[in-house]
């Protein structure tokens, strides 16, 4: 975890300024301990209930992180063939993988079946027909769940809410039952579960419990009709604290409440947490390049930008700004922290009351472990940052910074 010791910010006892100097900036730093602690919180909270925690790879798909989780016994929730490739490269067990996503291609389905992916979470009849066709051609039977849309409001940012009737995700829960029945006609499919995922950064999990209730009711109707449903998958979405005012529920409490609803059904339960496993396990380190005053504003220009961390620009997300050296004696000013990209939307923090950190000094952006590096781009031909893992009191680079040659790889003039 990240905290000040002797006025210097560290990660599990490793000084972050040393990492910034040696690895360069911008640079993501992750705590292996924080990631494993969160995973184990999920796993342990289920107790004796049959369960599988499938880490949502899209939150952070860096190989070293997938490998940590694979060794801890995690399953994986993927949304593309590329994510499956990563999970396999990291030593993940394909039988513990669920393939989610609203638009899988024939190539991706074939790749997943060839590697023995455990379950497809499907979101349309058209896709079921395609999975059946590909499985038939390969002489296999594919296990599937329908992702149902339970029409509950997850009360989060509109871009990351997914469970309302007019969202593109899932199949309306009222219609799903008929789809399961029609799917009995597909000879190479087996209906083994029902899944849902209603949104992300959910701070009040009552809507997830409400969705679980609707899903369980559907399962019992399907079982009465003779369908071999043996599990429910309740997705991810638990929120984290981006700032002190956010009060996310403890993982243990959330899972205990969820388990209490499911126990009686005898079903196996799956969850697909992403953000709540990696979000607070990472920071983005950046160096102050310049300070600049306009008549109405003061800017701190840093070497990280929206291409490295897009959440502030995309979702107006808040990330705490922590100087790597805590200097209570400094004057303070209200500033915008901005990057070098040529867009007015390129900011990391707006109107923040911060100590007057000077060019050459470093800051960390907190809670950057989820939807950080994975959304990084090369916009403005900026090489993507390095990534560092802190583990057992030492650190290592787990992805080197991109070079200029990386930027033009695969292109021809
Ligand atoms: C994004 C996503 C998740 C993970 O969501 P978090 O908010 O990061 O926990 C899980 N399941 C599905 C289907 C998703 O699309």
Distance CA 55, CA 52 (A): 9
Q: Is the CB of 272 under 6 A from ligand 1?
A: yes
Sign, Cα dihedral of 160, 164, 165, 171: positive
- What band does 18 get if pLDDT is binned at 50, 70 and 90? very high
CA-nearest residue, atom 10 of ligand 1? 236
Q: Is the CB of 236 under 6 A from ligand 1?
A: yes
Q: Is the CB of 273 under 6 A from ligand 1?
A: yes
Q: Give the tokens for residue 406.
A: 């990386």
Note the pLDDT tens digit of each residue in 66-81: 999 999 999 999 999 9
Q: How far is the CA of 81 from the centre of ligand 1 (A)?
A: 16
Distance CA 188, CA 170 (A): 21
Q: What integer best gives the mean pLDDT of the chain?
A: 96
Task: Ligand 1 pocket test: pick from 80, 100, 311 the residue with the most ligand atoms within 8 Å of its Cβ.
Answer: 100
Query: In angstroms, how far is CA 36 from the centroid of its own chain?
Result: 15
Q: Enter the DSSP assignment of 300.
A: E
Q: Is the CB of 56 under 6 A from ligand 1?
A: yes
- What band does 305 get if pLDDT is binned at 50, 70 and 90? very high
Span 222-226, average pLDDT: 97
Is residue 54 part of the annotated active site? The answer reads no
How many residues are there in the chain? 413
Q: Is the CB of 59 under 6 A from ligand 1?
A: yes
Q: How far is the CA of 273 from the centre of ligand 1 (A)?
A: 6
Kindly give the number of the ligand 1 atom that is closest to the alpha carbon of 200: 7
Q: Is the CB of 197 under 6 A from ligand 1?
A: yes
Residue 301 in contact with residue 292, Cβ under 8 Å?
yes
Task: Ligand 1 pocket test: pick from 75, 274, 367, 368 the residue with the most ligand atoms within 8 Å of its Cβ.
Answer: 274
Q: How far is the CA of 110 from the centre of ligand 1 (A)?
A: 23
Span 192-219, average pLDDT: 96
- E-strand ranges in 58-138 read 75-78, 97-99, 119-122
Task: Ligand 1 pocket test: pick from 200, 254, 273 the residue with the most ligand atoms within 8 Å of its Cβ.
Answer: 200
Span 278-293, average pLDDT: 98
Q: Give the tokens for residue 362.
A: 């470093």
Kindly give the number of the ligand 1 atom that is closest to the alpha carbon of 276: 9
For residue 391, pLDDT over 80 is answered with yes
Domains of the chain: 2-30+279-407 (2.40.37.10), 101-271 (3.20.20.10)
Q: Is the CB of 81 under 6 A from ligand 1?
A: no
Span 343-354, average pLDDT: 95
Which value, in Å, is the radius of gyration of the alpha carbons in the chain? Answer: 23
Q: Which of 140, 71, 146 is nearest to 112 (CA)?
A: 140
Kindly give the number of the ligand 1 atom that is closest to the alpha carbon of 279: 8
Q: Is the CB of 127 under 6 A from ligand 1?
A: no
Q: State the SS3 of 3-54.
A: EEECCEEEECCEEHHHHHHHHCCCEEEEEHHHHHHHHHHHHHHCCCCCEEEE
* Cα distances (angstroms) measured from residue 190 to each of 104, 128, 143, 273, 361: 18, 11, 5, 25, 58
Q: Give the tokens for residue 283.
A: 């920071």
Q: How far is the CA of 253 from the centre of ligand 1 (A)?
A: 19
Confidence (pLDDT) at 160 = 67
Confidence (pLDDT) at 336 = 97
Span 364-373, average pLDDT: 98
Distance CA 69, CA 76 (A): 9
For residue 108, pLDDT over 90 is answered with yes
3-class DSSP state of 186: coil
Note the pLDDT tens digit of each residue in 110-163: 999 999 999 999 999 999 999 999 999 999 999 999 999 998 988 777 766 776
For residue 53, pLDDT over 80 is answered with yes
Q: Give the tokens for residue 314.
A: 């995309």
Kindly give the number of the ligand 1 atom that is closest to the alpha carbon of 58: 1
Span 173-195, average pLDDT: 97
Confidence (pLDDT) at 163 = 67
């Amino acid at each position: 975890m990240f905290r000040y010791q002797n006025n210097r910010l560290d990660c599990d006892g490793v000084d972050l300024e040393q990492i910034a100097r040696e690895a360069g900036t911008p640079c993501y730093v992750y705590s292996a301990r924080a990631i494993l602690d969160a995973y184990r919180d999920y796993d342990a909270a289920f107790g004796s209930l049959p369960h599988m925690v499938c880490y949502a790879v899209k939150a952070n798909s860096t190989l070293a992180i997938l490998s940590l989780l694979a060794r801890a016994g995690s399953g994986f929730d993927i949304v593309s063939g590329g994510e499956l490739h990563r999970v396999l490269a990291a030593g993940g067990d394909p039988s513990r993988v669920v393939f989610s996503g609203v638009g899988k291609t024939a190539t991706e389905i074939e790749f997943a079946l060839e590697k023995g992916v455990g379950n497809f979470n499907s979101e349309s009849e058209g896709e079921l027909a395609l999975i059946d066709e590909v499985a038939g051609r390969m002489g296999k039977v594919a296990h599937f769940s329908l992702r149902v849309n339970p029409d509950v409001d997850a009360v989060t940012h509109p871009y990351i809410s997914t469970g309302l009737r007019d969202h593109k995700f899932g199949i309306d829960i009222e219609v799903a039952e008929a789809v399961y029945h029609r799917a009995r006609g597909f000879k190479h499919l087996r209906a083994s579960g029902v899944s849902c995922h209603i949104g992300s950064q959910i701070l009040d999990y009552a809507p997830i419990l409400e969705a679980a209730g609707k899903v369980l009711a559907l399962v019992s109707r399907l079982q009465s009709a003779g369908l071999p449903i043996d599990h429910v998958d309740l997705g991810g979405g638990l929120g984290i604290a981006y700032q002190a005012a956010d009060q996310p529920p403890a993982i243990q409490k959330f899972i205990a409440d969820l388990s209490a609803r499911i126990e009686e059904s005898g079903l196996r339960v799956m969850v697909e947490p992403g953000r709540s496993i990696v979000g607070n396990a990472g920071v983005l380190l950046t160096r102050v390049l310049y300070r600049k005053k306009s008549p109405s504003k003061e800017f701190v220009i840093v070497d990280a930008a929206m291409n490295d961390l897009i959440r502030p620009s995309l979702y107006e997300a808040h990330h705490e700004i922590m100087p790597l050296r805590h200097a209570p004696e400094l004057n303070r000013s209200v500033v915008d922290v901005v990057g070098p990209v040529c867009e007015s939307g390129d900011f990391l923090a707006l109107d923040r009351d911060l100590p007057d950190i000077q060019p050459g000094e470093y800051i960390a952006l907190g809670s950057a472990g989820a939807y950080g590096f994975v959304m990084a781009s090369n916009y403005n031909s900026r090489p993507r940052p390095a990534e560092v893992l802190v583990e057992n009191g030492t650190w290592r680079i787990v992805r080197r910074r991109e070079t200029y040659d990386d930027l033009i790889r695969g292109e021809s003039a």
